[in-house]
Amino acid sequence: MAPARRRGRPPSSESTAGDTRGRIVEAAVELFAEKGFHGTGVAEIGDRADVQRGALYYHIGSKEELLWQILHDYIRLMLIDAERIADSCDDPITQLRALIASHVGLIIEHRREVAIQLRDVTALTGDRGAELQELRDRVQHCWQRVIDAGHAAGLLRTDDHVVTNGVLGMLNTVTYWYRPHGGRSPDEIAAILAATILDGVVTTTDTKG
């Protein structure tokens, strides 16, 4: 059976299709971050992306599909880096510092996507909502693996999941107060937060690194 075709006129070339979809996704990121998923209409996305309605539906299928792609792509970036760090041969404290630096850097780079996730992730339902939650759980599992290893090695006072959840929650809120011209680079912010976090859970007073 031939696959079902989307509505609207097909693109003239693969390159054109990719460019058009990229404009649509970027417009959706801007509008969802500004107005929220529920406060944004499909027509607004098309207007901002300069895409006619028929072509818009051909490229995106639905507004929820756009939300899915935006959040999925962002969480995948988080997961890839978290897995790389957790699978490395570094000691758990070095890994934890690297996780903090990676998380803060990606949050700052993708702060609009983070804002959308924190506000509108519940708009994704069914299989898509479940799959996104699975990706988020896998990111958290990478952090828990590192914290568990640090505790088992006697380097951390605790491996309680409350600590893992609390640290991730604190880092995620960076998106609310970070300003590009606020005087602190992402690396500086990550270093300050790492020192704050590790001073609370490391078993020694040596937190240099």
Domain assignment of residue 26, given as a range = 14-61
Residues with pLDDT less than 70, the chain: 1-15, 17, 182, 201, 203-209
**Spatial separation of the C-alpha atoms in residues 118 and 122, rounded to whole Å:** 9
pLDDT of residue 2: 41
Q: CA nearest 143: which of 128, 122, 164? A: 164
Q: Are residues 95 and 41 in the same domain?
A: no
Q: Are residues 51 and 69 in the same domain?
A: no
pLDDT of residue 75: 95
**Spatial separation of the C-alpha atoms in residues 205 and 209, rounded to whole Å:** 12
Q: Are residues 23 and 81 in the same domain?
A: no
Q: Are residues 144 and 54 in the same domain?
A: no
Q: Are residues 19 and 98 in the same domain?
A: no
Which CATH number is 49's domain given?
1.10.10.60
pTM score: 0.81
End-to-end CA distance of the chain: 59
Q: Are residues 161 and 128 in the same domain?
A: yes
Angle CA(131)–CA(136)–CA(140) in degrees, nearest 5? 145
Q: Are 96 and 151 in contact (CB under 8 A)?
A: no
Q: Are residues 50 and 25 in the same domain?
A: yes
The reply to whether 207 falls in a domain is: no
The reply to whether 116 falls in a domain is: yes
Q: Are residues 108 and 190 in the same domain?
A: yes
Strand ranges in the chain using DSSP code E only, listed in sequence order: none
